[in-house]
Structure 1
Amino acid sequence: MIPTRLNLYFSILFIFLLLLSCQKKDIITVKQKSTKAEVEKLIIIADRFYDNKEYDSAFSYYNKVKFICNPVTDAENYVTALDRMADIQQTYGDYTGSESTVTETLAYLKYIKDPKYAWDTYIILGINYVNTYDYKNALFYYNEALKLKTTEWQKQTVKSNIAFAYMEQKKYEEAIQIFLPLTTNKTIQEFPEDHARALDHIGYCYFKINDPKALSYMQKALKIRSEIQHNRGIGTSYHRLAQFYINKNPSLAKKFMKLSYEKFTIVNNIDDRMLSLKLLIENSSDGELKKYSTIYVNLVDSIFEVRQKAKNQFAKIKYDSKKEKDENLKLKTHRAENELQLEKQKNRNIISYIIIALSLSLIIVLYFYLTSKGNREKIEATYKSETRIAKKLHDELANDIYHTMAFAENKNLSLSENKEQLIQNLNVIYSRTRDISKENSPIITSEKYTLYLKEMIAGFNTPDINLLLNGIEAISWKEIEENKKITVYRVLQELLVNMKKHSSASLVVITFKTTDKNVIVTYSDNGKGIDPNTISIKNGLHNVENRILAIKGKIDIDSSVGKGFKVFFEFPL
C-alpha cells in the first residue's frame, strides 16, 4: 500500500517541479549567524558540571556545544567539547564509545594552532586503545602526541604512557628503560603523584623479571604516596607489595591485600577493589573466601549495571540531539522554500496549492514511517541483547557461583587439592564474569582474526582437556565477509562452552577446510554425547543453528549418548 502511494506522490511532485522549472529562479542566500557567544556560555556551564563530577549533565551540555558549534570557524570549542565527552565515556569504561566520539575531532585539528588540543585528543585515543588491548594504535597516537611542541610535563606524561603500554604487553625491560629517566626528571619530581607512579611501575617491572631491586622501588613509591596522603596511590602500593610477598611471606602479603582493599574502598574505585578482591579470594579459605567471593560478585553486577546504564544514557543524549538538529534543519529549509514559493506564486491557481499539499504529505508520511520503523528496530535489538546477557548471567555465572559455594562449605579446604580446586573454580568464575562484561565488545575481524580465534579456542585448553586445531591457517580469512567470521567465532565459542559445561570430554578436535565455494568446519569431542531428541533451546544449540542459517550455511549434528558429540557446518565463501 505504501509503495503505491509513494509512486503517486512522486509523480505529482515531478509534474510540480517541471512546472516550476519554466519560471525564472531566484537565489536565496542564507547567512549563517555566529554561535560562538552561545557556545562559550554552554561550555562554562558544562565545565562547572564536569568539575563537580556531575558527568551526565556535563555530557549533555558538551553535546549541545557540538551540535551548534561550527567545527571549522570555531574548532577549538568544538574539539574541547568532544574531548570532554570522550573523557566522560572513558571514565565509565565505555572505551569503544569514547573512541568513536574523540575520532570526530581528527578532521578539525588542522584548524587549531595550539598543540594542546591535539595532545588531549591523542592521549584520549591512546588510553582507549590500551584498555581495548590495541597496543599498536595506542603507541601510534602516543608517539604522535610526543612529536607535538608541548610542555615538558606533557612530554614526560606521554613517555610514561608509552612505558605503561609496554608494561601491559609484558615488555618489562623496554618499559624500565623509559620509566627510569622519569624518576630523575625535575619536572616529574615536582608532581609527587607522577613521581610515585613511575617508581611503582619500575618496582612492578623489576618484580616481574625477578630483579631484587623491585622492593626498594615499591617502598619509595609507598613513602611518597603516604606523605601526600594519596589514598588510591597507597592502595596501589599495598597491592604491589602483596603481589611481591605472596610466595615469600604469605601472612605479610595477606596483610597488604587487606590494606589495599581498605584504601580502594575509601576512594570508591570499583576496578581497583576488584583487583584486590581477586588476590584475597585466591589467598583465602573458609568463611573469608565466601565473604570475599560474595563481595566480588556483587561488585561485578553493580559495575556492569552502572556502566551499561551510563553507556545507554550517553548514546541516547547523542541520538536525541542529532535528531533534534536534523528536525530543526528540515523545518528551517522547508520554511525558506515556502516563503520563496509564496512570493513567486501569488497568482498561481488552485492546482499549485494542491500539489504543494501533496508534497508536504509525502514528507510527513516518509518521516513518520522511517522514524517508526527505526524505533521499532532499536527497541527490538535492545531487548534481544538484554535478554541474551541476562540469560547468560543466570545460566553460567549463577550456577558456577552456587557450585563453588557448595564446594567451599562441604570440602576440607585445608587439603591442598581442595584449595587448588576452589581457586581454579574462582578463576573460572572470574574469567566468565570478565567475558560477559565484554560481551558487547567487537570481535576483531581484521588481519589478526586468526590470532584472536586461536586464542579464544586455546582458552578452553586445560590439563584435563586436550584440544586439537587443524587447518585454520589454510583458510583465506581475508576473503571472507566480516559477519561470517563473527559467526564462526561465536559458534565455536558456544560449542566449546557447552563442551566444558556438559560433555566431560577429554579430547576436542576442530578441523577447517575449504572447497571451491564453501568453508567446512568440523567439531568433535569424546564426551558423553547427547540424545538427539533432547536437543533444544535449553542447551544453546538452537542459537548455533540460527547463526549458521543466518549466513546461508548448513549444519548437521551427529551425537548419541556415550558416543561423543559432532557438529558439521559449512557456509559459502
Structure 2
Amino acid sequence: MKSRYLFLIIGLCSCGENHTTVLTIDTPDYKRGESLLDHQPDSAFYYFNKVATGSKDSLLIAKSYNYMAVIQSDAGDYYGAEESLLTSLKYLDEQAPSHQNCLVSDYNELGRNSAELYNYEASINYYDQAIKRTRNGNYKAIALNNQAVSFEKMGNYTQAIAIYRSLLEHPPADKLEYARILSNFAKTKWLQDSGYYAALELLTALQIRKEENDEWGLNASYAHLSDYYTRKKPDSAHFYANQMYTVARHLNSPDDQLQALQKLIELSPSNDVKQYFQRYQSLNDSIQTTRNAAKNQFALIRYEVQKNKADNLRLQRDNIKQRVVIYGIVALFCTAVWVFILWYRKRKQRLEWETQTAIREHQLKTSQKVHDVVANGLYRLMMGIEHQESIEKDRILDVLDDLYEQSRDISYEQTKHIPIDFQGAIASLLKNFADASTKVLIVGNDNRLWASVTDKVKKEIELMLQEFMINMKKHSSAQNVLVKFDHQERLLIVEYMDDGVGFPSSFRRGNGLTNTGNRISAIGGQITFDNELPKGLKIKVSIPIAPNA
C-alpha cells in the first residue's frame, strides 16, 4: 500500500529544524508550484521544472527536483522519480548545514521509491542515509518506520520488530505516527507468529486514526485487520476489506482500491465475486492507461521547458547581433528576421507534430500490450467464472496475481539499461537457471568478448538467452546445459547445447522462439536449430559485429 508523506517532504525541504537557517529565496515560479501541488500536480511539475532548469540557486534547484520526484512517484513513474532524486542530490553539498534537511528528504524518498520497485536492500540503505542526517525526532521516527516496513517486506521480521520496539519505548509526540508504528508492529509480530494476538494493538491504532480523522491511516488499518482476520474470522475480514474499499474510493487511491477488491474477491460469497472482479478489471485497465499517459506528459513538459530555454538563449544572441548591425542594412536585416521567424514557426510545428506522433505510437504500443497480456487473460477467466457452477477461489486469485504482476511490468516499462559489467550480468542470468538437477556451464564469457558489441546487440542477446533458458526449464528436462561465446572473424557466435529431450518431430515454434528469431534477424544475425542430435538440442546464433579490438 502506498504511504503518502508529502508533509515530510514539505517540512524537510523547507529546512524546518531549529538549528538550520534557510539561505534560499523562493521564486514566483517555485511558490506557484507549491500552491498547485495538491490540486494540479501536472501544472506544479511544470513550474518546478522551470525553476530547476532556470535557477542559479543550487538548493532551490535541489528542492524543485525533490518536489518533481514526489509528483512522479505519486503518478506511478518510479524510474522517473528516481532520476529526479538523484539529480537533486547532485546539487546538494553533503557538508553544508543548510542542505541537510533536503538531503534527508531525498534519501527518504529514494528509500520509498526503491521499496515501490521491490528493491528493499537499496531502500534500507537509503533510509540509513536519511536517519543519520536528521536530528528531528519525528522525522527520524518516520524514516525508521519506513525502514522497518522494508525489513518486513524482505521477511526479516526480527529486525523490523526490533526497530518498532525501539520506537514504541520512546513513542513520538505525533499521535498519527504512533498509530502507524503500533499497527505495523502488530502486523509484523503476527506475520512472524501466526498465533500472536494482534487484534488489541490493531484496534487501538484504528481508534486513534478515527479520532484524528486520518483517512490514509484508516485505509492501512482496515487492510491490516482484514489480513489478520482472514483465517480467524472471515466475516470480520470481509467487513474490514469492504471498509478499506470505501475509504480507498473516497481517497481516490487506485492501488488501494485494487488491493481491497482482491481481498473482497477472496472473502466474498460466490455470487458476489463476479461484480468485484468486473470492477477490478475496469480499474486495472484505467490505472495502466493513466500512468502511461502521466509518464509521457512529464517527459513532454521537460522537453518543452528545455526547448523554450534554448530558444530564449538563441533569441538573446540574435538581439546582441542586431545591436552591432549598421543602419544601412536595416531593411536586409528585417527581411532575414522575417525569414527566420517563418522558418522557426514551421520547425516548431513540425517538432510538435513529431512529438505528438511519437506519443500516439507509444500509446498504441502500450494499448496493444495491455490487450495481449491482460485483457485476453481476464476475458478467459471471466468466461470461466460465468460458465462454471462452482468457483475455485485459489485458482482465480493465482491467475489474478499473475495478471497483476504482468500489468505492473507493462506500467513500469522503461528503456532497458545495459550494465557496465555485461559479462557479470550474462553470467548471473544463466546461473539463475542452475539447480540441483540442472548444471549450467558457461564458456568464453569475458569482458574482451563484449568490448566491441553494441548495446543494441547486447540487449537482444540477453533476451535471446533468457528465452532459451526458460524453454529449457519448461520443456527439455535437461541435466546439463552449455552456453559458449566466441569471435570468428567479424561474427559473434553464441552456441547453446543441452542434453534434454530436444524438439519432437511435430514441433512448431511458439511465440517466444518466433520473437527470438525475429530479433536476431533484425540485427542482421542468423539462428540455426540442430535437432538431429541423438539426445538434446543445439542452437547456433551468429551476429555480425565490428572487428574485435
SS of equivalent residue, structure 1 residue 470: strand
CA contact (8 A) 2:443 2:484 kept: no
Partner of 2:413: 439
CA contact (8 A) 2:530 2:539 kept: yes
- Structure 2 CA distance, aligned partners of 1:508 and 1:266? 53
Judging changes above 3 Å, is the alpha-carbon distance between structure 1 residues 102 and 431 closer, same or farther for their aligned structure 2 residues? closer
- Structure 2 CA distance, aligned partners of 1:558 and 1:290? 48
Judging changes above 3 Å, is the alpha-carbon distance between structure 1 residues 313 and 454 closer, same or farther for their aligned structure 2 residues? same
Partner of 1:152: 137
SS of equivalent residue, structure 1 residue 292: helix
1:428 aligns with 2:402: yes
Q: Displacement, 1:115?
A: 2.0
Partner of 1:471: 441
SS of equivalent residue, structure 2 residue 273: helix
1:68-83 matches, cutoff 5 A: 68-70=54-56, 74-83=57-66
- Partner of residue 146 from structure 2, selected from 149, 153, 161: 161
1:20-39 matches, cutoff 5 A: none
Of 282-291 and 56-65, the range deviating more from structure 2: 282-291
CA contact (8 A) 1:130 1:165 kept: yes
Q: Displacement, 1:450?
A: 5.4
SS of equivalent residue, structure 1 residue 193: helix
Judging changes above 3 Å, is the alpha-carbon distance between structure 1 residues 396 and 457 closer, same or farther for their aligned structure 2 residues? farther
Q: Displacement, 1:392?
A: 2.4
Partner of 2:215: 231
Of 369-378 and 480-489, the range deviating more from structure 2: 369-378
1:520 aligns with 2:507: no
Q: Displacement, 1:252?
A: 2.9
Q: Displacement, 1:233?
A: 1.8
- Structure 2 CA distance, aligned partners of 1:559 and 1:360? 70
1:196-211 matches, cutoff 5 A: 196-210=179-193
Partner of 1:20: none
User: What amino acid does structure 1 have at the position aligned with 2:516?
Assistant: V
SS of equivalent residue, structure 2 residue 414: coil
Partner of 2:40: 54
Structure 2 unaligned regions, length at least 5: 1-23
SS of equivalent residue, structure 1 residue 439: coil
Judging changes above 3 Å, is the alpha-carbon distance between structure 1 residues 390 and 150 closer, same or farther for their aligned structure 2 residues? same
Judging changes above 3 Å, is the alpha-carbon distance between structure 1 residues 567 and 395 closer, same or farther for their aligned structure 2 residues? farther
Q: Displacement, 1:166?
A: 1.6
- Structure 2 CA distance, aligned partners of 1:552 and 1:376? 32
SS of equivalent residue, structure 1 residue 247: helix
- Structure 1 CA distance, aligned partners of 2:449 and 2:202? 50
Q: Displacement, 1:234?
A: 2.0
Which structure is higher in RCO with an 8 Å CA cutoff and minimum separation 6?
2
1:380-399 matches, cutoff 5 A: 382=359, 384-399=361-376
Partner of 1:259: 243
1:244-323 matches, cutoff 5 A: 244-284=228-268, 286-323=270-307
Q: Displacement, 1:105?
A: 2.2
- Structure 2 CA distance, aligned partners of 1:181 and 1:384? 53
Q: Displacement, 1:92?
A: 0.7
CA contact (8 A) 2:503 2:531 kept: no
- Structure 2 CA distance, aligned partners of 1:337 and 1:204? 69
CA contact (8 A) 1:504 1:528 kept: no
1:91-130 matches, cutoff 5 A: 91-110=74-93, 113-130=98-115
Partner of 2:459: 486
Q: Displacement, 1:402?
A: 1.9
Judging changes above 3 Å, is the alpha-carbon distance between structure 1 residues 268 and 379 closer, same or farther for their aligned structure 2 residues? closer
- Structure 2 CA distance, aligned partners of 1:231 and 1:361? 59
User: What amino acid does structure 2 have at the position aligned with 1:210?
Assistant: D
Partner of 2:526: 554
- Structure 1 CA distance, aligned partners of 2:514 and 2:358? 19
1:45 aligns with 2:32: yes
- Structure 2 CA distance, aligned partners of 1:333 and 1:95? 38
SS of equivalent residue, structure 2 residue 135: coil
1:78-89 matches, cutoff 5 A: 78-89=61-72
Judging changes above 3 Å, is the alpha-carbon distance between structure 1 residues 142 and 337 closer, same or farther for their aligned structure 2 residues? farther
Output one character per residue of 1:123-175: Cα deviation in whole Å (capped at 9) or x when no partner. Answer: 22222222223334333332222222532222222222222222222211111
User: What amino acid does structure 2 have at the position aligned with 1:409?
Assistant: E
CA contact (8 A) 1:522 1:569 kept: no
Q: Displacement, 1:483?
A: 3.8
Judging changes above 3 Å, is the alpha-carbon distance between structure 1 residues 473 and 301 closer, same or farther for their aligned structure 2 residues? farther
Q: Displacement, 1:295?
A: 1.2
CA contact (8 A) 2:66 2:106 kept: yes
Q: Displacement, 1:102?
A: 2.4
- Partner of residue 120 from structure 2, selected from 107, 131, 135: 135
CA contact (8 A) 1:531 1:559 kept: no
User: What amino acid does structure 1 have at the position aligned with 2:518?
Assistant: N
TM-score (norm 2): 0.77
CA contact (8 A) 1:530 1:559 kept: no
1:411 aligns with 2:413: no
Output one character per residue of 1:356-403: Cα deviation in whole Å (capped at 9) or x when no partner. Answer: 99x999999999999899878766764554343322222232221122
- Structure 1 CA distance, aligned partners of 2:461 and 2:437? 17
User: What amino acid does structure 2 have at the position aligned with 1:401?
Assistant: L
CA contact (8 A) 2:104 2:134 kept: no
Q: Displacement, 1:289?
A: 2.2
Output one character per residue of 1:236-259: Cα deviation in whole Å (capped at 9) or x when no partner. Answer: 222222222323333332333222
CA contact (8 A) 2:237 2:267 kept: no
TM-score (norm 1): 0.74
Q: Displacement, 1:97?
A: 0.9
Output one character per residue of 1:184-230: Cα deviation in whole Å (capped at 9) or x when no partner. Answer: 324x2x21221111112212221221151544432332232222232
User: What amino acid does structure 2 have at the position aligned with 1:411?
Assistant: Q
Q: Displacement, 1:406?
A: 2.0
Q: Displacement, 1:87?
A: 1.2
Of 288-297 and 483-492, the range deviating more from structure 2: 483-492
Q: Displacement, 1:55?
A: 0.8
Judging changes above 3 Å, is the alpha-carbon distance between structure 1 residues 265 and 137 closer, same or farther for their aligned structure 2 residues? same
SS of equivalent residue, structure 1 residue 471: strand
User: What amino acid does structure 2 have at the position aligned with 1:195?
Assistant: Y
Q: Displacement, 1:548?
A: 2.0
SS of equivalent residue, structure 1 residue 246: helix
- Structure 1 CA distance, aligned partners of 2:536 and 2:365? 28
Q: Displacement, 1:271?
A: 0.9
Q: Displacement, 1:109?
A: 1.4
SS of equivalent residue, structure 1 residue 105: helix
- Structure 2 CA distance, aligned partners of 1:569 and 1:542? 14
- Structure 1 CA distance, aligned partners of 2:415 and 2:143? 27
- Structure 2 CA distance, aligned partners of 1:270 and 1:544? 36
CA contact (8 A) 1:79 1:117 kept: yes
CA contact (8 A) 2:58 2:91 kept: yes
Output one character per residue of 1:438-496: Cα deviation in whole Å (capped at 9) or x when no partner. Answer: 333746746674597469979xx9xxxx9967336984489646544432443466679
SS of equivalent residue, structure 1 residue 515: strand
Partner of 2:6: none
CA contact (8 A) 2:176 2:209 kept: yes
RMSD: 4.4
Q: Percent identity?
A: 26
- Structure 2 CA distance, aligned partners of 1:483 and 1:273? 39
User: What amino acid does structure 1 have at the position aligned with 2:397?
Assistant: I
